[in-house]
Amino acid sequence: MAEEKFQVIIIGAGVAGSAAAYRLAKAGREVVLIDRGDTPGRKNMTGGRLYTYALEELMPGEWSDAPLEREVTREIMMFMTREDSVSIDTTLSSQKQQSYTVLRARFDAWLASKAEEAGAMLIPGSTVDGLIIRDGKVAGIKTGDEELEADLVISAEGVNPIVAERAGLIKPVNVKDVAVGVKYVYKLPEQTINERFNTVSGKGTAMLCVGECNKGISGGAFLYTNKESISLGLVVDTHSWKESKLPLVDVAEELRQHPALGRYIEGGELVEYSAHLIPEGGYKSLPQLYSDGFLIAGDAAGMVVNRGFTVRGMDYAILSGIAAAETADQAIEAGTFTKSFLQNYETKLKKMVLKDLESFKDSHDYIAHTQHLFTTYPNLAVDMMNHLYKVDGNPAKKIPGIVKETIVGKLPYFSVLKDILKGGKSL
């Protein structure tokens, strides 16, 4: 039996859900934000770095107190073999406050508190089990013995949207469309991090790695510097991981001991270990984004783009939360919650989130199925540098000779050309 009725109920106080709740509360709407965690964000996971344009879009000029870790001013792309590595090390101080590293436990709790301050009702520690559906329209949620009614429900329940699936509003997530992420957080003194990364307090590094870090499995490793900790982890494509038959825990263990990465976390105290799925199917696996009385946002809708050198999901989650809130606000104003009215949500998303998802619709397939990216090419990059810098008393070779020696016999030229052309089209 339903007990109360609200204008909007949001399932999940991750970044998408809290962004939607904040916007709706600011618009003066009665909104309830429900999360299964005792405190929002406690079990949420990201790499990760947040692109701040999305925060600015959400709350212009009002995110200065957000618990952001370090402003990313250095980007490193590292190609690794078992012992060696080659890095493209880029300093971009001119990109003022473009992105910051974040820890979700702090960030999500802050964002949910902002929604609460704005007037949203936060219900933590409560798992939504199902939806109330009346005459084909979503009319509320069920949690345990309780039922709460609403004009509109927004699912922001993350990568495994069981509530929406159970209600038959979306198809079950396909295993081939998700990647698996594993992450460790090591606590280290701020000064030690500054010294190891040759930087100052407040400035940070984002490092993405390919090659031996994943033992040839499609995917990559990441390292982000926080104020007083380092986030280190890896992401693997599920199909490629299954083929490898390697236990992920062993791959992650070797990653932590790799000479090119292990030195950064040396002496650090392991304070967090987590694993999480990432929806990487992209545009091709987008679900129906709206139904009568229902919208779906963020990871629940698969809004992530992984291009190898950038991973974006949190900014899209925030933008989709904003779009869902605006659509809900307009629906309340118009007094209609039909599917045809709610398709405005998709129209709003087309301006940015869906545009990116469409542009990079082949990135997941390219990354997942171009095996040389994770084996041959990192090896070639390291081999080439090894030859260039080698001085061993033998007659020295000129650069074309070194290039020839490195590449010839390793890979047919047409195969490299094909990968380059496909990569150019996909990424």
Question: Which residues in this chain contact ligand FAD in the complex, by CB under 6 A?
Answer: 11-17, 34-37, 40, 44-50, 127-128, 156-159, 163, 181, 183, 233, 235, 276, 278, 298-300, 304, 311-315, 317
Q: Taking the complex as a whole, how short is the minimal distance between the CB of residue 180 and ligand FAD, in angstroms? A: 8
Q: Which residue number, 277 or 331, has a Cβ lying nearer to ligand FAD?
A: 277
Query: Toward ligand FAD, which CB reaches closer, 211 or 298?
Result: 298
Q: One-letter amino acid identity for 369?
A: H
Smallest distance from the beta carbon of 280 to ligand FAD, in angstroms? 10
Nearer to ligand FAD, 33 or 382 (CB): 33
- The distance of closest approach from Cβ of residue 265 to ligand FAD in the complex, given in angstroms and rounded to an integer, is 17
Rounded Cα gap, residues 216 and 139, in angstroms: 48
Q: Residue 328 corresponds to which tokens in the numbers above? A: 């809900």
- The burial of 361, by beta-carbon neighbours within 10 Å (0-12 exposed, 13-18 middle, 19 or more buried), is given as middle
Closer of 81 and 114 to ligand FAD (Cβ): 114
Residue 144 DSSP SS3 = coil
Q: Cα separation of 259 and 224, whole Å?
A: 17
To 5 degrees, how large is the angle CA 194–CA 378–CA 192? 10
Cβ burial of 119 (10 Å; 0-12, 13-18, 19+) is middle
Residue 37 beta carbon to ligand FAD: minimum distance, rounded to whole angstroms = 5
Q: Is 321 within 8 Å of 16 (Cβ atoms)?
A: yes
181/204 with CB nearer ligand FAD: 181
What single-letter amino acid sits at 209? C
Choice between 16 and 260, CB closer to ligand FAD: 16
CB of 403 to ligand FAD, least distance (A): 34
- Tell me how far, at minimum, the Cβ of 279 lies from ligand FAD, in Å: 8
Contact 188, 229 (CB under 8 A): yes
Closer to ligand FAD by Cβ: residue 106 or 387? 106
CB of 64 to ligand FAD, least distance (A): 20
DSSP code, position 120:
P
* 134-168-296 Cα angle (round to 5): 90
SS3 134: strand
Instruction: For residue 12, give both structure tokens.
Output: 């999940």
- 206 burial (CB, 10 Å; 0-12 / 13-18 / 19+) is buried
Least distance from ligand FAD to the Cβ atom of residue 311, Å: 4
Nearer to ligand FAD, 21 or 80 (CB): 21
Alpha carbon 255 to chain centroid, angstroms: 20
